[in-house]
Structure 1
Amino acid sequence: MKPIIGITMSREHEQQQILSRAYSDAVIQAGGVPLLIPYTTSDKVIKEMSRVLDGLLLSGGGDIDPTLFDEEPLPGLGRIDPDRDEMEIALIEQFISQDKPILGICRGCQILNVALGGGMFQDLPSQKSDLLQHAQQAPRYHASHTIHIEEGTLLHRIYRKSVAKVNSFHHQAVREVLAPLRVSAVSRDGVVEAFESEQHRFVMAVQWHPEEMVRIDSDAANLFSAFVEACRQQP
């Protein structure tokens, strides 16, 4: 059977939940069955979701409440959605406890790190100097800057290279990760571009948007294939 992959959504208005089709298309292309996760903060519902789903895809979206990593809001902080933060952290905790695969993308990368105790840059341009352009002015499928991938990581085994090009659409970023996580890729300006767990079967997060690149980039397609395959191979 094909694995069922739950995908979190954004909320632009109070009663409207949205998701770019690129996420579900990428899961389908990799052999999975996407299932969109509606907003809920019910512990009972979240536990049942985590029991039914084979994997969790944390999608991109708005900013994360800085109080979750013990900071006050800076002027560059964008729109936050406390309900989404709460729901995604609860989902992460459930999937981690069950050792089920997680893939975090952009905001999903950041909320995964926060849920596991790491810190963040609320607003890269005002908090870090000598930056590359991390909010590209180019088509979403275009790979705009390079990343260095650490040898010996799962990401390196998937990409089979030490340098790759990725797209970029963010102003927040991971500041540091805590064990059992390890950084698996950085950009040339030192911004964390990917991390993964050393204690779980497949817990990985990337700062770029591979779902926008899968049709033209074999590396991005291989990343989704590896995720879906991990979801298929449940213990």
Structure 2
Amino acid sequence: MRKKPLIGITGYHVPGEEGVGGTFRGVKGQGFSVIGHDYIQAVKQVGAIPIGIPVGDRSTCSEILQAIDGLILAGGEDIDPQLYGSSPDLRCWTITPERDYFELALIEEALRLHKPILAICRGMQLLNVCFGGTLYVDISDHGEHVLAHQFSRAPRWYLGHRVKLLTPSLKKLYQANEIRTNSYHHQAVNQLGAGLEAAAVADDGIIEALIHPNHPNLLAVQWHPEMMAVKHEEGLIPFRWLIDQVNGGGSP
């Protein structure tokens, strides 16, 4: 009997000094590593086993990647603008440098070991930074006619805007030239990292997906397919792609 793939999922890093309250339970000074249930359910639905990866020592990344079959870089906090030669400003939300550096090490090790990577929202942005690219500290820097990309007052599965698919591989994956997606970000890819290609864009030109010709088992999307999957079957497409890669499938 073939074993189910083990899929590692990164998550929020909540230091103890952030305090107690809100949706978190615990005692004063206690921190949390938090994996969204939507990621967990999506991985289960495609026949794999989800494994949470808390922020830890970068020296452990090799052992972690050797133990899992695929990696999901999940959404979450802002990426520190200093990592791509910019500076934080008042438009920045929460920044967690510990998570940034740990996940950058995870990406580098996953690439070295040729482990499949699905990068989502923040994960896509960090992937771009890892390849030497830059981000908009806030998408308002993209220009005057930028769309709304943060539908925080709508259900998490709400399909807020159109995304045009640019590459033959992504069109084949979705069996479409254009899709509608949810959206929960205020930072976005600016200059592409070395070798990365824009695989999808929104109507305002914001990059919505990335691929890399030299890394065919890498796919990055700016939307949140795990949230879409709550109501829309096509939300599972990137997760099925990930399992196909684990099982020796082709490019995205």
TM, length-normalised to structure 2 = 0.88
Q: Which residue, 160, 163, 171 being the options, matches 2:178?
A: 163
Gaps of 5+ in 2: 17-30
The structure whose RCO (Cα within 8 Å, separation 6+) is larger is 1
8 Å contact from structure 1 (residues 195, 205) kept in 2: yes
- Residue identity opposite 1:185 in structure 2: A
Return the offset for 1:127. Answer: 4.8
Between the aligned partners of 1:12 and 1:127, the Cα distance in structure 2 is 30
Map of 2:241 onto structure 1: 226
Q: Does 1:80 align with 2:82?
A: no
Specify the SS of the correspondent of 1:139. coil
Deviations 1:11-52 (CA, angstroms, capped at 9, x unpaired): 233311112100010011011111000211231x11100111
8 Å contact from structure 1 (residues 151, 162) kept in 2: no
Map of 1:37 onto structure 2: 53
Pick the structure with greater CA Rg.
Answer: 2
Between the aligned partners of 2:58 and 2:198, the Cα distance in structure 1 is 32
Between the aligned partners of 2:91 and 2:141, the Cα distance in structure 1 is 7
Map of 1:142 onto structure 2: 158
Between the aligned partners of 1:121 and 1:42, the Cα distance in structure 2 is 27
- Structure having the higher strand fraction is 1
Q: Does 1:182 align with 2:197?
A: yes
Between the aligned partners of 1:180 and 1:54, the Cα distance in structure 2 is 24
> In the comparison of the two structures, how many residue pairs are matched?
233
Between the aligned partners of 1:66 and 1:213, the Cα distance in structure 2 is 28
8 Å contact from structure 1 (residues 99, 201) kept in 2: no
CA RMSD of aligned residues (A): 1.6
8 Å contact from structure 1 (residues 149, 186) kept in 2: yes
8 Å contact from structure 1 (residues 64, 80) kept in 2: yes
Map of 2:225 onto structure 1: 210
**Which has the higher mean CA deviation after the structures are superposed, 25-34 or 217-226?**
217-226
Return the offset for 1:8. Answer: 0.3
Between the aligned partners of 1:219 and 1:192, the Cα distance in structure 2 is 20
Map of 1:20 onto structure 2: 36
- Residue identity opposite 2:47 in structure 1: G
Return the offset for 1:94. Answer: 0.3
Gaps of 5+ in 1: none
Q: Which residue, 9, 13, 33 being the options, matches 1:11?
A: 13
Between the aligned partners of 1:103 and 1:194, the Cα distance in structure 2 is 11
TM, length-normalised to structure 1 = 0.94
Instruction: Give 1:50-61 correspondences, 5 Å limit.
Output: 50-61=65-76
8 Å contact from structure 1 (residues 50, 91) kept in 2: yes
Q: Which residue, 2, 9, 12 being the options, matches 2:4?
A: 2
Between the aligned partners of 1:126 and 1:75, the Cα distance in structure 2 is 13
